[in-house]
Amino acid sequence: MLYQLHEFQRTMLNPLTAWAQATAKTFTNPLSPLSLVPGAPRLAAGYELLYRLGKAYEKPEFNIKSVRSNGRDIPIVEQTILDKPFCKLVRFKRYADDPDTIKLLKDEPVVLVCAPLSGHHSTLLRDTVRTLLQDHKVYVTDWVDARMVPVEHGEFHLSDYIRYIQEFIRHIGAENLNVISVCQPTVPVLAAISLMASAGEKTPRTMTMMGGPIDARKSATAVNSLATNKSYEWFENNVIYTVPANYPGHGRRVYPGFLQHAGFVAMNPDRHVSSHYDYYLSLVQGGSDDAEAHVKFYDEYNAVLDMAAEYYLETIRTVFQEFRLANGTWVVDGEPVRPQDIKSTALLTIEGELDDISGAGQTAAAHDLCTGIAKTRKQHLTAEKCGHYGIFSGRRWRDSVYPELRDFIRKYRA
């Protein structure tokens, strides 16, 4: 019933937000007499803020058209390589027309970026992808909003997530592949590669784990505490709802994105209130750069997706309540998950010093599990003054974290 009420609220707000947007423009358009009214900038800013607070946020585009690489502007074309019901494997193809640049691009390492399936769309990693494209061939897992997947496609379990990752690795080719997992996927990606190693398959050349809950018992955060303080049954009875009739996934049980978004905001409410007030002041004062940065961030932050109920609940139990990966008790489709069987893949873990989502030591725990990897092929980085998002997006990612990641990948290139 909560999902239906949420959709009803959205429908009721649509006329209000459309009116607020139109009114804001009438107070800013120089051809409008209302733009000459005393206090017009404040009125326009207030209506614009009302519009931003009430509007519906759809999935943004990656919108990466070109990158600067090897001293040249390289055009980018986004291609869907594999189209699965719950995920698309997307490649950002780089193009050039002179032989020297073509050779340079061809010889650069291949990267698979495993984006989180934890509420936000894969476009949250836009800055990650854009930066990687300077020196790498880049593939990304683009997860599909569960409310858009018809029920005839069946359920989506945590084990299906693992099989998807394995299929993508095989399709690209493990021999020269470098896998980067950001936050939530560190656990299923490590499981996927472990199972491939146990089966005698070739595994990727390197794997990088960034800010993920490999062992959520270490330095528990508010996210971890919620999962341990509530029972599995509580989550099943209180946060799982059925997709309403106005979506292709009508009837599917999901953990709604709007609940996840409410949880994100509740973690730092003061910061969000302050950010919106600063946005209002920027509009009043004509600070277009600050206002544009706010819009870009919240267009991404407020765009959320639903997760299949079975996947979400299994993740809660497996990762945050029973710690099966860290305890060595995880079995997937009858096969034990044994990170110690990984031998030929180099390991890099990255944590943010100020990460309030994945606490200190949670990601580095992968080193203790991957005992089959030689110590000389393991590396850890704690990014100073970085929060959770700072390790994969923003200035500190580009200036501090990325150079370390790039050099690590190149160290083990063919």
Mean pLDDT of the chain: 93
Run of H or E including 181: strand 177-182
Confidence of residue 29 (pLDDT cuts 50, 70, 90): confident
What pLDDT digit, counting tens, does each position of 229-254 carry?
Answer: 899 999 999 999 999 998 999 999 99
**Strand ranges (E), 84-150:** 87-94, 110-114, 137-143
Burial profile 221-237: b = 16 or more Cβ within 10 angstroms, e = fewer = bebbeebeeeeeeebee
pTM of the model: 0.92
Q: What is the pLDDT of residue 65?
A: 94
What pLDDT digit, counting tens, does each position of 169-206 carry?
Answer: 999 999 999 999 999 999 999 999 999 999 999 999 99
- Whether the pLDDT of residue 309 is over 90: the answer is yes
Three-state DSSP state, 256: coil
What pLDDT digit, counting tens, does each position of 61-75 carry?
Answer: 999 999 988 788 899
Please tell me the distance from the alpha carbon of residue 414 to that of residue 404, in angstroms, as a whole number.
Answer: 18
Q: What is the 3-state secondary structure (H, E, C) of the chain?
A: CHHHHHHHHHHHHHHHHHHHHHHHHHCCCCCCHHHHCCCHHHHHHHHHHHHHHHCCCCCCCCCCCEEEECCEEEEEEEEEEEECCCEEEEEEEECCCCHHHHHHHHHCCEEEEECCCCCECHHHHHHHHHHHCCCCEEEEEEECCHHHCCHHHCCCCHHHHHHHHHHHHHHHCHHHEEEEEECCCHHHHHHHHHHHHHCCCCCCCEEEEECCCCCCCCCCCHHHHHHHHCCHHHHHHHCCEECCCCCCCCCCEEECHHHHHHHHHHHCHHHHHHHHHHHHHHHHHCCHHHHHHHHHHHHHHCCECCEEHHHHHHHHHHHHHCCHHHHCCCEECCEECCHHHCCCCEEEEEEECCCCCCCCCCCCHHHHHCCCCCHHHEEEEEECCCCCHHHCCCHHHHHHHHHHHHHHHHHCCC
Q: What is the pLDDT of residue 125?
A: 95
Residues of the chain with CATH 3.40.50.1820: 66-235+306-411
Bigger pLDDT: 110 or 34? Answer: 110
Helix spans in 173-285 (H)? 186-198, 222-229, 232-238, 257-267, 269-285
Segment 340-357 mean pLDDT: 95
What pLDDT digit, counting tens, does each position of 116-135 carry?
Answer: 999 899 999 999 999 999 99
Please tell me the distance from the alpha carbon of residue 180 to that of residue 305, in angstroms, as a whole number.
Answer: 22
Q: What is the pLDDT of residue 338?
A: 98
Q: What is the pLDDT of residue 103?
A: 85
CB atoms near residue 55 (< 10 Å): 18
Q: What is the pLDDT of residue 293?
A: 87
Q: What is the pLDDT of residue 217?
A: 93
- Please provide the CATH number assigned to the domain covering 66-235+306-411: 3.40.50.1820
What pLDDT digit, counting tens, does each position of 358-379 carry?
Answer: 999 999 999 999 999 999 999 9
Q: Which amino acid is at 90?
A: V
CB atoms near residue 38 (< 10 Å): 7
Bigger pLDDT: 289 or 59? Answer: 59
Residues contacting residue 190 through CB under 8 Å, at least 6 positions apart? 181, 207, 209, 214, 325, 339, 366, 369, 370
- Whether the pLDDT of residue 407 is over 90: the answer is yes
Confidence of residue 337 (pLDDT cuts 50, 70, 90): very high
Three-state DSSP state, 254: strand
Confidence of residue 105 (pLDDT cuts 50, 70, 90): confident
